[in-house]
Amino acid sequence: EDQVTQSPEALRLQEGESSSLNCSYTVSGLRGLFWYRQDPGKGPEFLFTLYSAGEEKEKERLKATLTKKESFLHITAPKPEDSATYLCAVQGRGTSYGKLTFGQGTILTVHP
């Protein structure tokens, strides 16, 4: 059974204070690891897909990296508008039909 654990549960940063969110996973053969952003009262919004260890992807102040056991979402010089819940999900080779297993999310708050 695929499992995803995200840490920390909540993170408070000052504007400009860089940090990282962690996503640890166990999966029977990784097909893809996904990062989503979720704003209060809205559905998750797709950010990145990573497919293999060593892969990195960037979007504005966000950079996602992947190892064989975990993924990090690095936030460089965050702004208040980066405040949201960040979700990690995996799709393993043992699953079918695009099903994803999600972590519980990290609630990020960036203070001005």
Interface residues with other proteins (CB under 8 A) are: 4, 31-32, 34, 36, 41-46, 49, 51, 87, 89, 91, 97-100, 102-105
Instruction: Please give the Cα distance from 67 to 53 (Å, whole number).
Output: 4
Cβ partners under 8 Å of residue 72, min gap 6: 20, 21, 22, 23, 64, 65
Shortest Cβ 77–other proteins spacing (Å): 26
- Cβ nearer to other proteins, comparing 68 with 97: 97
Give 18 or 109: the residue with its C-beta nearer to other proteins. 109
Nearest to other proteins of 20, 104 (CB atom): 104
Element (H, E) at 90: strand 84-92
